[in-house]
């Protein structure tokens, strides 16, 4: 099973990165629907896909308006399932698809997370969703397939006492936002985002096997936009006791990971 990193920026697209969308091709499950959603065109291999929305800030939902290009003869796609909290679905339908902005809504099938309960079956996996601290509210997801588990957490501020980590214990693959550097910690807290030292420390503490960092500042073109290399070097020099994830990677647009 492959995880495709279609868009790895936050806030807005840039020359190097589009905004958030990650896609599990075999079961046809996408995390978020940012400006990179157009890249699904060559990847869709199922008649239906499910989109798990973390929240409704525009950088995570603007791609919902791209779905007309993905329906029809060039892909097998026939059904589109959208999963989100009730108030988020209402906001999308009322505002993003307001007749003055986008008058012909694609044929979505809406699924309210609160009606499904904290855990439900999806694409052969047990899906768990949980709240995150972020202005306007957000949720994270964990999918437990037979043989592998993957979680998606964005946007939120990672802290030592963040409640959501209890849902991530021992996960095989964690995609976690990391919008700011350690030096920008104050701004990260102010805007509801994370920095690398705390994300890596908490991933290690909670037994995460592999960590993929994403949701980077689109205005930073450096290949290591959050200073991850320095963070890992500091942990090695300090002989940090927690076992770090065996893989820690900075996501890039169009990168793919073989999960199993």
**What percentage of the chain carries pLDDT values higher than 70?**
99
pLDDT at position 240 is 72
Which residues sit opposite 153 in a β-bridge?
A: 176
Taking each helix axis from N to C end, the angle separating 228-237 and 196-205, rounded to the nearest 10 degrees, works out to 50
CA-nearest of 89, 93, 49, 45 to 67 is 49
Residues near 11 by Cβ (< 8 Å), separated by ≥ 6? 19, 59, 217, 218
Q: What is the CATH classification number for the domain harbouring 117?
A: 3.60.15.10
The whole-angstrom separation of Cα 245 and Cα 236 is 13
Model confidence at 241: pLDDT above 70: no
How many domains in the chain?
A: 1
How far is residue 258's CA from residue 260's CA, in Å, rounded to a whole number? 6
What's the pTM value of the predicted model, to 2 decimals?
A: 0.97
209-225: per-residue pLDDT in tens? 999 999 999 999 899 99
Between CA 44 and CA 74 the distance in angstroms is: 10
CA 125/CA 54 separation, integer angstroms: 18
What is the pLDDT, as a whole number, of residue 244?
75
Q: Is the pLDDT of residue 103 over 90?
A: yes
State mean pLDDT over 101-109. 95
The residue range of the domain holding 159 is 2-258
Mean pLDDT for the stretch of residues 139-146: 98
Tokens at 254, concatenated: 């169009």
């Amino acid at each position: 099973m492959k995880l495709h990193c279609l868009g790895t920026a936050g806030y807005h697209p840039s020359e190097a990165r589009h905004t958030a969308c990650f896609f599990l091709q075999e079961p046809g499950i996408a995390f978020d629907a940012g400006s990179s959603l157009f890249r699904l065109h060559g990847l869709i291999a199922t008649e239906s896909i499910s989109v798990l929305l973390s929240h409704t800030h525009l950088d995570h939902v603007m791609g919902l308006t791209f779905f007309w290009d993905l329906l029809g003869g060039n892909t097998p796609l026939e059904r589109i399932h959208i999963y989100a909290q009730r108030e988020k679905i209402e906001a999308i339908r009322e505002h993003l698809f307001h007749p003055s902005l986008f008058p012909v809504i694609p044929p979505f099938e809406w699924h309210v997370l609160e009606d499904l309960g904290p855990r439900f079956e999806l694409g052969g996996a047990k899906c768990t969703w949980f709240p995150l601290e972020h202005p306007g509210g957000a949720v994270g997801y964990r999918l437990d397939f037979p043989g592998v588990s993957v979680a998606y957490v964005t946007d939120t501020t990672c802290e030592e006492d963040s409640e959501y980590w209890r849902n991530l214990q021992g996960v095989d693959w964690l995609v976690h936002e990391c919008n700011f550097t350690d030096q920008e910690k104050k701004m990260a807290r102010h805007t509801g985002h994370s920095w690398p030292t705390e994300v890596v420390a908490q991933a290690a503490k909670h037994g995460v096997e592999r960590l993929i960092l994403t949701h980077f500042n689109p205005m930073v073109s450096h290949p290591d936009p959050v200073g991850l290399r320095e963070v890992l070097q500091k942990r090695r020099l300090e002989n940090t006791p927690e076992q770090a994830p065996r893989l820690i990677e900075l996501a890039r647009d169009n990168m793919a990971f073989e999960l199993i």
